[in-house]
Amino acid sequence: MAVNLLLGLQWGDEGKGKIVDVLTSNYDIIARFQGGPNAGHTLIFDGHKHVLHTIPSGIFHENAVNLVGNGVVIDPVIFKNELENLSKFNLDFKSKLLISRKAHLILPTHRLLDAASESSKGKSKIGSTLKGIGPTYMDKTGRNGMRIGDLELDNWKEKYRTLANKHLKMLEFFEVEIEYNLDELEVEFFAAVETLKQLTFIDSEEYLNSAIKNKKTILAEGAQGSLLDVDFGTYPFVTSSTTTAAGACTGLGVAPNKIGDVFGIFKAYTTRVGSGPFPTELFDKDGETMAKVGHEFGATTGRPRRCGWLDLVALKYAVEVNGVTQLMMMKGDVLSGFETLKVCTSYNYKGKEITHFPYNVEEHNVQPIYTELKGWKEDLTSMTSVDTLPKELNDYIKYIEDFVEIPVTIVSVGPDRKQTIMR
């Protein structure tokens, strides 16, 4: 049996949570492999809206085991809040939610370092969510971090104190004023750790490889998007982890030859939260309409998302880097009513037309070159089959498929899990 992957192909917020929720009934195990609570996966069903930050999106399915892998960084306080928000649904967290002992912990002082670092950048801010993600991954690669498994040791508070004291000294370097009460933050943190310790910690790489041998079906769930990958994203306006397919191997401990299908999620248009280049960004009524109709606000931060036309150059790049085998298009319903749609099919890069995603896509280097397609007026939200979709939408999908050379197998026409059309 192979591990299937589900990834975002843009700058995040593509709708991965909904698709994981839709697909979960096909899988025994849902495994999150990277990122932290800077992710926000929104699920809507049975009249309820759920926003998950660390817990995998299969938690609402009775038969699925949910695993937080070693590549994830965990804030115990946010994790505890997630558990409390889900408590009314009577979920069996002890047996259905497993945490890798090798996953790293976000400390209160990581969040302080994040805030100080971002504040010190002034106008050059990268748009951090201030959740402490970057400093935690820095400690991980610097071999200083604390891991879930450390909480099982008698001296874990000593390890915590040593690292926290180091962080406090580092804060002085930034020479900025940030207000905080570490005593209060630590009371909250230690209480959350005790809640976390009531869950099941496992050696996840052994668990997953054993599951593969026993022919269990596994879906690996990514966070953020491919264009936020620390290597292949729009650096430095990226996240601190590997968001592409390769991250599933290092973030779960499974070998590359165990990877099966790679499901790539993308919006019918493009959005971005925070700072960084965005070649197809719109500053006109079309962009405003996308934002309004699509309710484009970050699930984690609440920040408004920047909106623009679909960038096929960037999408093809993400498809290639990830080895995508199936595409899933989200929010097709948001484009209803546009008389003409535009898709970016090449860039004017320093005066030369190119069709690949270059090293630098800053506005002064790159301008999008568009192809226009006919739009549709029909409301898609109640449509349930491919046969009912307007011809113009099917033409739009076929144009995308031909450009990136990968089939679109799912079209989402609304936020509810029922508003999902299989092709």
Tens of pLDDT along 85-115? 888 888 889 999 999 999 999 999 999 999 8
Side chain identity at residue 18, one-letter code: K
- The DSSP 8-state label assigned to residue 147 in this structure reads B
- The DSSP 8-state label assigned to residue 383 in this structure reads -
Strands, E, within 242-281: which ranges?
Answer: 259-267, 270-272
Side chain identity at residue 407, one-letter code: P
Residue 133 CA to residue 53 CA, distance in Å, equals: 13
pTM for the full predicted model: 0.92
Residue 329 CA to residue 3 CA, distance in Å, equals: 22
Q: Tens place of pLDDT for every residue, the chain, 423 residues?
A: 799 999 999 999 898 888 888 888 899 999 999 999 977 767 776 666 777 889 988 888 888 999 999 999 999 999 999 999 888 888 889 999 999 999 999 999 999 999 888 887 776 666 677 899 999 999 999 999 999 999 999 999 999 999 999 999 999 888 888 888 999 999 999 999 999 999 999 999 999 999 999 999 999 999 899 999 999 999 999 999 999 999 999 999 999 999 999 999 999 999 998 889 999 999 999 999 999 999 998 766 677 899 999 999 999 999 999 999 999 999 999 999 999 999 999 999 999 999 999 999 999 999 999 999 999 999 999 999 999 999 999 999 999 999 999 999 999 999 988 999 999
The reported pLDDT for the residue numbered 49 is 74
Catalytic residue among 13, 139, 229, 286: 13
- The DSSP 8-state label assigned to residue 179 in this structure reads -
Residue 23 CA to residue 32 CA, distance in Å, equals: 15
What burial letters (b/e) apply to 108-121, b meaning 16+ CB within 10 Å?
bbbbbbbbbbbbee
Paired tokens of 86: 């889900």
Residue 333 CA to residue 353 CA, distance in Å, equals: 32
Task: Please tell me whether residue 343 adopts helix, strand or coil conformation.
Answer: strand
Is 183 part of the annotated catalytic residue set? no
What burial letters (b/e) apply to 294-312, b meaning 16+ CB within 10 Å?
bebebbbbeeebbbbbbbb
Paired tokens of 215: 């022919």
Is 167 part of the annotated catalytic residue set? no
Residue 200 CA to residue 274 CA, distance in Å, equals: 35
Catalytic residue among 21, 41, 75, 167: 41
Helices 312-322 and 391-404, packing angle to 10 deg: 50
